[in-house]
Structures are given as structure tokens and as C-alpha cells.
Amino acid sequence: MNPEKQRKLQEYTRAIAEILYTEAESEPQFTLESIEKTIQTQLQQYVSPEIAAFFLSNQPEQLSVEPENLPVH
């Protein structure tokens, strides 16, 4: 990955982290453990599906994967 793409990735990742942190901050028990659990859940619910959808939409037809065949975490 070239330095410009690394910079963009870091910038976008920090923006995502800020949003997730703000949501975790509103949890009743604001501890490191609760933040970690909340962010992990949010990544699985919101970020990972978007990344998967992007990759799947850019696959050639013969390599496409049916959603029901995707692994569940």
C-alpha cells in the first residue's frame, strides 16, 4: 500500500473510531471493557457488512457468493 493510501485509511479509520467511541461513551457502564464490547459489536453490525458488501459487489459473476453461504461470526 502506498503512503497516500495508508494516510487515507488511517484518516477514515480514525473517523470510524470516533463515531464508535461516541456511541460506546453513551453506555451506562463506561469502562474499557464495555467500550471494547460495544465497539466490537458495532464493527460486526455496521462496518464489516459494508466491507463485505463492497467486496462482493466487485467480484466477477462466477466468483460471487450467496449471502446464505457466508460464515457467521
- pLDDT value at residue 32: 82
Nearby residues of 59 by Cβ (< 8 Å), 6 or more positions away: 65
Distance CA 43, CA 45 (A): 6
Q: Is residue 67 part of a domain?
A: no
- pLDDT value at residue 63: 55
- pLDDT value at residue 23: 78
Tens digits of residue pLDDT in 8-53: 999 999 999 888 888 777 767 778 888 788 888 999 999 999 999 9
- pLDDT value at residue 28: 73
- Number of separate domains in the chain: 1
The pTM of the whole model exceeds 0.75: no
Owning domain of residue 23? 3-59
Q: Is residue 73 part of a domain?
A: no
Q: Is residue 54 part of a domain?
A: yes
Chain-centroid distance of CA 72 in Å reads 15
Q: Is residue 38 part of a domain?
A: yes
Tens digits of residue pLDDT in 53-72: 998 998 876 555 566 666 66
Distance CA 31, CA 29 (A): 6
